[in-house]
Structure 1
Amino acid sequence: MKSIKVSILGKQYPLKVEDHEEEAMIKICSYVDERFKNYRQQLVKQPESTVMVLAALSIAEELFEARRANSELEDNEEALMERVNHSLERLLTEIKE
């Protein structure tokens, strides 16, 4: 495990990550920090906790949308494979006859 420090909304957070995860974690933290800053600019009068919750909900919404899109792709791929398999089975049956 490796210790790193990341900054989110100007606050330092120590994290422990596997060596191979360091670059990805830094990118993730940078993304979260940028989203929090964008919400902070839009919601100047709101408490920091509100800004962070709304930004976290927005990030979670992105995640759920990406998961839904990925699931649809997998479903489409599975349906396509079933059609291909059915066509191959039919072709093999025709060849045998």
Structure 2
Amino acid sequence: MKSIKVNILGRQYPLKVEESEEEAMIRICKYVDDRFQEYRQQLVKQPESTVMVLAALSIAEELFEAKRKSSDLENNDTLVMERVNHSLEKLLSEIRE
């Protein structure tokens, strides 16, 4: 494990990550910080905790939407494969006759 330090909303956080995951974690932390900063600029009078919660909910919403789209694609692929499989079985049946 490797120790790294990341900044989110001006605060430094120490993290331990696998060396192979260091670059990805830094990108993730930068994304989170960027979103928090964006919300902080829009909600100047709100406490930092409110800003962080709203930004986290927005990020979670993005994640759920991406998962839904991925699931929809997988379901679509499954339907296509089932149709292809059915067509192949029908063709094999016709060949046997």
Following TM superposition, the consecutive aligned residue runs of length 4 or more in structure 1 with deviations greater than 2 angstroms are none
CA distance in 1, matches of 2:36, 2:90: 56
1:19 is the counterpart of 2:19:
yes
Aligned match of 1:7 = 7
Task: Quote the offset at 1:54 in angstroms.
Answer: 0.2
- Give the TM-score, by structure 1 length: 0.98
Task: Quote the offset at 1:96 in angstroms.
Answer: 1.1
Name structure 2 gaps, 5 residues minimum. Answer: none
Total equivalences in the alignment:
97
Aligned match of 1:66 = 66
Aligned match of 1:42 = 42
- Give the TM-score, by structure 2 length: 0.98
Superposed CA deviations along residues 39-81 of structure 1, whole A, max 9, x for unmatched, are 0000000000000000000000000011111111110000100
Name structure 1 gaps, 5 residues minimum. Answer: none
